Amino acid sequence: GTPIGLFVPNEDQRPGDYKEMSDIPRPGHADFTYLIKYGNKASSGGGRSSARETIGRVAAGAIAEKWLRGTYGTEISCWVSSIGDVSLPESAVPRGEGGCLVGWTRAQVDEYGTLRMLRDPATFHRVGEAEVADADERRKANIDAEVAAEDAFLKLVGVHAGASAAGVAEAAKRGVAAAAAGAAEALRAMPCYEDWQGGVYTHDGGRLGEAELKGVDLASWRTDELLPLRCPHPPTACRMATLIRQVKVEKDSIGGAVA
């Protein structure tokens, strides 16, 4: 019956980091839920939904989980099943004997649920130390390069999505039919994400085979940007990543974050 004591020193205090979120709730965070439920916004970083406040319950839960595993062999795992209107199909979840849902282990979620960002070398080039010696200048140059590449990619996605939503007739009226067709053609063969096994996917989760990738130098498309989506079904994870990127550039909030 002896109580367990936990002490976590709060030494990581950076209120200035939250300036950009003064008007927009953080994606994937409880900021918006807290605002709607309690009617106020903790500008210093989440209030009752802050990690500084919830860490006690998280730490206590970790102890409880260790006891459950040691006593009953219980394993607890979770994954992202939906973001916005993108949902993981139930048929993709592994099943055990009798057809019952088994799911993935925590290690599998970490591995399978991470994508590598692929960027078109025609629109993106990472600046190296040999090109720019100063670390700060190099960092700024690479950020600018990522923003430009992201803008080019999302323009293609936006033109394609806009025409699809409007319909062919309406798209023709708006004079975007040709542009939409070109965007669709480009996106259909564009490597956008790579899974843990080296599988390559388009922006909407379509798997690209050897025929589509013939002549493509994937090494020049690979970046060091890893997307920890925690959705262990790559086709769905790709669609989630694209949706998050679209929402992020619109300065909106939908849940989830591409870091």
Q: 114-164 pLDDT, tens per residue?
A: 999 999 888 888 888 888 888 888 888 888 888 888 888 888 777 555 444
User: Residue 248 in contact with residue 77, Cβ under 8 Å?
Assistant: no
Looking at residue 166, its pLDDT comes to 44
Q: 30-84 pLDDT, tens per residue?
A: 777 777 888 877 666 556 667 777 788 889 999 999 999 999 999 899 999 998 8
Please state, in angstroms and rounded to a whole number, the distance separating the CA atoms of residues 166 and 33: 32
Q: 160-208 pLDDT, tens per residue?
A: 554 444 444 444 445 544 555 566 677 788 899 999 999 999 999 999 9
User: Can you read off the two tokens belonging to residue 137?
Assistant: 């200048």
Q: What is the mean pLDDT of residues 10-16?
A: 70
Instruction: Spell out the residues 6+ positions from residue 214 whose beta carbon is closer than 8 angstroms to its own.
Output: none
> Residues in the chain, how many?
259
Please state, in angstroms and rounded to a whole number, the distance separating the CA atoms of residues 181 and 50: 46
Please state, in angstroms and rounded to a whole number, the distance separating the CA atoms of residues 236 and 112: 12
HSE-CB for 222 with a 13 A CA cutoff? 12
What DSSP string describes the chain? Answer: -PPPP---------GGGGGGGSSSPPTTSSHHHHHHHHS---TTT-GGGSHHHHHHHHHHHHHHHHHHHHHH---------EETTEE--GGGS-B-GGG-B----HHHHHHHTEEEEE--TTT--PPPTTT--SHHHHHHHHHHHHHHHHHHHHHHHHHHHHHHHH-HHHHHHTT-HHHHHHHHHHHHT---EE-TTS-EE-TTSPEE-HHHHTT--HHHHEEEEEEE---S-HHHHHHHHHHHHHHHHTT---S----
CA 106 vs. chain centroid, Å, equals 18
CA 40 vs. chain centroid, Å, equals 28
Looking at residue 232, its pLDDT comes to 95
HSE-CB for 180 with a 13 A CA cutoff? 20
Please state, in angstroms and rounded to a whole number, the distance separating the CA atoms of residues 239 and 233: 10
Q: What is the mean pLDDT of residues 82-97?
A: 90
Looking at residue 219, its pLDDT comes to 93
Please state, in angstroms and rounded to a whole number, the distance separating the CA atoms of residues 133 and 7: 43
Q: Within 10 A of 31 (CB to CB), how many other CB atoms are there?
A: 23
